[in-house]
């Protein structure tokens, strides 16, 4: 076999090794895994220690205010800033959080990659978002896991994300369902099945509700924000092997 062929095969081995080794780790408790399976979402303590949250919020504001116009999307209720994989190095650890990667193994069930990571601010005095599923399920199962890191506390008043309990995989919402708001203190992390129906609640306050959001998908799907093409050389130099595995295919 050619050297290139051997390299390709050994690269494939590395991929399977990452999936296999993440699958055997145990930082995601069985209770959390069960709740994700039955409810479609969970709220975990996030990867950032409490003492670093004010600094993270400051870096968020700096990144958002310094973003190029091309990276900013103003929706009807939220402002989204993409490319959080290439901003301050403090954001690099967010998509490597072991319990979240273990949730991906369980939900997606096959090798996966990061598809998007962006800031999303629900602007003050905005109505609730329409409930939607990000990625419908298919014959091969669940294609996506999403996450929302709370930069601010998520409260019933400021637009905390609402989930239709257990609605993952439904083609449409039934006439009656339980809508649950995922509230938590700053630093909490929502992990959800991308096929669950959800949307942010109304922001009734005068303050923006900030978050960092992302999605993991099957490695065989095209990346939502064309991450492999966007990766800057200086980012690739500072991140480790697992991050490169998640970002560059
Ligand atoms: O920001 C949120 O709480 C949810 C946002 C969301 O689901 C979306 O925009 O697709």
For ligand 1, is residue 118 a contact (CB within 6 Å)? no
- Residue 31: which domain range? 3-247
Select from 60, 81, 83 the least CA-distant residue to 72.
81
For ligand 1, is residue 98 a contact (CB within 6 Å)? no
Nearest CA to ligand 1 atom 9: 199
- Domain CATH number, residue 182: 2.60.120.620
Nearest CA to ligand 1 atom 7: 199
pLDDT digits over 81-107, tens only?
Answer: 999 999 999 999 999 999 999 999 999
Alpha carbon distances (Å) from 201 to 123, 146, 181, 236: 11, 17, 8, 36
Atom nearest to 159 CA in ligand 1: 3
Alpha carbon distances (Å) from 163 to 39, 67, 171, 177, 192: 9, 30, 15, 10, 9
Two tokens, residue 190: 């929502």
Nearest CA to ligand 1 atom 8: 199
Select from 93, 82, 156, 158 the least CA-distant residue to 120.
82
For ligand 1, is residue 199 a contact (CB within 6 Å)? yes
146 forms beta bridges with 192, 215
> Whole-model pTM?
0.94
pLDDT digits over 160-209, tens only?
Answer: 999 999 999 999 999 999 999 999 999 999 999 999 999 999 999 999 99
What's the number of domains the chain is made of? 1
Angle between helix 98-108 and helix 3-24 axes, rounded to 10 deg: 100
């Amino acid at each position: 076999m050619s050297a290139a062929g051997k390299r390709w095969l050994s690269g494939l081995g590395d991929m399977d090794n990452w999936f296999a080794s993440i699958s055997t780790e145990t930082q995601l408790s069985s209770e959390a895994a069960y709740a994700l399976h039955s409810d479609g979402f969970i709220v975990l303590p996030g990867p950032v220690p409490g003492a670093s949250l004010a600094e993270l919020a400051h870096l968020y504001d700096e990144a958002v205010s310094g973003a190029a116009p091309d990276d900013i999307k103003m929706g009807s209720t939220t402002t989204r800033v993409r490319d959080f994989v290439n901003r301050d190095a403090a954001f690099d650890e967010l998509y490597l959080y072991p319990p979240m990667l273990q949730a991906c193994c369980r939900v997606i069930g096959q090798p996966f990659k990061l598809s998007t990571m962006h800031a999303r601010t629900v602007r003050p005095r905005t109505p609730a978002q329409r409930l939607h599923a990000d990625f419908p399920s298919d014959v091969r199962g669940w294609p996506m896991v999403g996450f929302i890191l709370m930069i601010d506390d998520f409260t019933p008043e400021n637009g905390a994300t609402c989930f239709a309990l257990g609605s993952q995989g439904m083609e449409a919402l039934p006439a009656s369902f339980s809508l649950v708001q995922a509230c938590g203190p700053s630093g909490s992390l929502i992990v959800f099945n991308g096929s669950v129906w959800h949307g942010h609640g109304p922001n009734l306050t005068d303050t923006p509700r900030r978050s960092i959001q992302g999605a993991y998908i099957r490695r065989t799907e095209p990346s939502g924000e064309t991450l492999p093409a966007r990766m800057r050389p200086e980012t690739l130099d500072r991140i480790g092997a697992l991050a490169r595995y998640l970002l560059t295919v």
